[in-house]
Amino acid sequence: MSIFSKTSVFTCVVAVLLLSGCAGDEAPEEKLALERPAEQIFKEAQDAEKEGSYGQAATLYAEVERQHPYSDYATQAQIKQAEVAYANLKYDEAIAALDRFIELHPGSDKVDYAYYLKAMCFYEQISDVRRDQAMSRDALEALDTVIGRFPDSKYARDAKYKRDLVRDHLAGKEMEIGRYYMARGQYQAAINRFTVVVKDYQTTTHVPEALHRLTESYTALGLKDEATHVAAVLGHNYPGSEWYQDSYALLDPAQRENLKDERSWFRQSIESLLSSD
């Protein structure tokens, strides 16, 4: 047999084997469309998720819903679609899936988890403090919803912890803007920002500096009474703070004497600053 003949025979054999193999296997789309038990599809989706094939897992969970819309597996598949989208960093898809789950199953024992996971979708997208904080505010609102609606949920504790972090982040943004205005001599604009920190973010780590910056700003504007009052509040609430030492150093001898006149508890409270707005 010639070399050409041997090559032709080999090619034909390979072609037959390939064709026979293809004939026995459905294309992925055809296999997906086959009616199968919900449990089987759900198990395939779980396996894909474990392997990190989030796109395939999402498709299979959606197929559970399509083929068995009234099964318990369909309800589970809805929340699982949100989970795999979250794991795949597709937060918009996850939020849409969670909103749908919440709307369809408001009485579910997993609705608290759905709200929590939605909050995490926003939380994971919080940007650097130097950028716009719209996502931080969305995260704060979502976390407040978890805490307010499900105070006894196992997710409430973590939601409170993350809420504190978000609030600190937002306060940091206000401080950054306030310092920006101060550096340009726009003291009234700076005062407005620092007052927001003192008023709306009293439990954050930024309050002592905000009070000092208020003292600085009032001093720069020649408003000695206001500067003295703020310094007194700072000294009363954070007596060992370096920020108080810096504020005290800004005051002239007469102002330091006037600190003694700020004797009442109310005059030394943060609320006394807010009541003068």
What percent of the chain shows pLDDT beyond 90? Answer: 68
Q: Where are the domains of the chain?
A: 22-108
Instruction: Give residue 58's pLDDT.
Output: 92
> Does the pLDDT at position 106 exceed 90?
yes
What's the pLDDT band for 130 if we cut at 50, 70, 90?
low
Q: Which two tokens stand for residue 133?
A: 């904080």
Check if CATH label 3.40.50.2300 holds for domain 22-108. Answer: no
Beta-carbon neighbour count of residue 73 at 10 Å? Answer: 22
Q: Which two tokens stand for residue 120?
A: 């995490």
Give the Cα separation of 142 and 139 in Å (integer): 5
Select, from the ranges 39-48, 124-133, 148-157, 268-277, the one with the highest average predicted confidence (pLDDT): 148-157
Instruction: Give residue 197's pLDDT.
Output: 97
Q: How far is CA 265 from CA 162, 212, 239, in A?
A: 32, 19, 14
pLDDT tens figures, 180-236 = 999 999 999 999 999 999 999 999 999 999 999 999 999 999 999 999 999 999 998
Give the Cα separation of 199 and 144 in Å (integer): 18
Helix ranges restricted to H, the chain: 3-24, 28-33, 38-50, 54-67, 72-87, 91-104, 111-123, 134-149, 156-183, 187-200, 207-220, 224-237, 242-250, 253-258, 270-275
